[in-house]
Amino acid sequence: MIKDTRRFEPFSENPISLIDDEGKWTGKFDLQLDDAALRDFYRSLIAARQLDERLILLQRSGKTSFAMQAAGHEGIQVAIAKAVKPGFDWLFPYYRDHGLALALGVPAVDIFAENLATRADPAKGRQMPNHPGSKPLNVFTVASPIAAHIPPATGAAISAKVQNTGQVVVASFGDGATSEGDWHAGVNFASAQGAPIVFVVENNRYAISVDLVNQTGSENMAIKAKAYGMPGYYVDGMDVLASYHVMLEAIEHARSGAGPVLVEATVYRYGPHSSADDDSIYRPKEEVEAWKRRDPILRLQKFLKNRGVWDEDWEEEVRQSVTDELAQALAAAEAAGPVPEVWMFGDVYEKQLWPQAEQQKYLEQELGL
């Protein structure tokens, strides 16, 4: 029999929260994170936000073609990164999860290089911008088609179960993904097979311009878990500590052999869906400003201040440190130089076949190489 050690009840009426808007602890249990760990959470939030800002600037300056804004999502993303076992568990993120990748330990130079398609990119310039991945850290490279990564994530989890590795898979996605057939197929199969996987909905209330009420008839996303026979947790994704503790519980449930879990994290994207979107057409500015007042960085800052472990000098030190690290990483990514066009012919097959060899030869002649 699996011992029930849950701190939270699935299918709560309201999102689970442990820090209120004034930074006061509201949990019914004592926080067991020390000050150093809490400061690390805060620094990770700052780094995720600054990374997001730099990626937007790269697109606006013409250095990359596309940007997906993630400001407002940092709470759940950092929580996931802190709750998994990096390099052991598997992550299947989506295109807004560069903050998750950074907090997990993916080098910032890799993330910048992937966006810029330079020689420092582990994917060799073959992905769209904002599609990070990491072989050493078991981060599956982001898939462009919405929800297309859910069935492979389920397959990876079933493999872990069959091989009894003890690994857990975490697959994250936006609320729009839950309207896709791939999402249903993957979640349903995971339930039927008892796969050790945690599905995380980063619900920012908009699938591009389609708001939540026009996307689903369900009262929330977490309740959908009932149809699949798994627990559904409804958490305030802008409360990083609540998100972290819910993720710990969900991951432990999956790792124990009890099957998959669905977690809905309520978040908000402050900017447009992407650099190709004008969000002012479909949502009021007042709504955006109201959500910004619940910012995950500001809430944790208030909490740390109440505990006496935050002050303005330390804030400035942290922000400058992150700024310097990201600047150095970006400089290294740019200095690596652009990916050569002929690289497209490598890694197609284990041993290059004659059609690729001929095509590469013609391209080299055309380029004068």
The set of catalytic residues is: 269, 273, 282
Q: Answer yes or no: are the C-beta atoms of 343 and 359 closer than 8 Å.
A: no
* Tokens coding 131: 């599609």
In the block, tokens 């992550």 appear at 91
Enter the tokens of residue 42.
Answer: 């805060």
What HEC string does the chain produce?
CCCCCCCCCCCCCCCECCECCCCCECCCCCCCCCHHHHHHHHHHHHHHHHHHHHHHHHHHCCCCCCCCCCCCCHHHHHHHHHHCCCCCCEEECCCCCHHHHHHHCCCHHHHHHHHHCECCCCCCCCCCCCCCCECCCCECCCCCCCCCCHHHHHHHHHHHHHHCCCCCEEEEEEHHHHHCHHHHHHHHHHHHHCCCEEEEEEECCEECCEEHHHCCCCCCCHHHHHHHCCCEEEEECCCHHHHHHHHHHHHHHHHCCCCCEEEEEECCCCCCCCCCCCHHHCCCHHHHHHHHCCCHHHHHHHHHHHHCCCCHHHHHHHHHHHHHHHHHHHHHHHHCCECCHHHHHCCCCCCCCHHHHHHHHHHHHHHCC
The CB density around residue 291, as the number of other CB atoms within 10 Å, is 18
Provide the CB-side half-sphere exposure for 139 (13 A, CA). 31
- Give the residue carrying structure tokens 């050790």: 196
Which residues are bridge partners to 45 per DSSP?
none
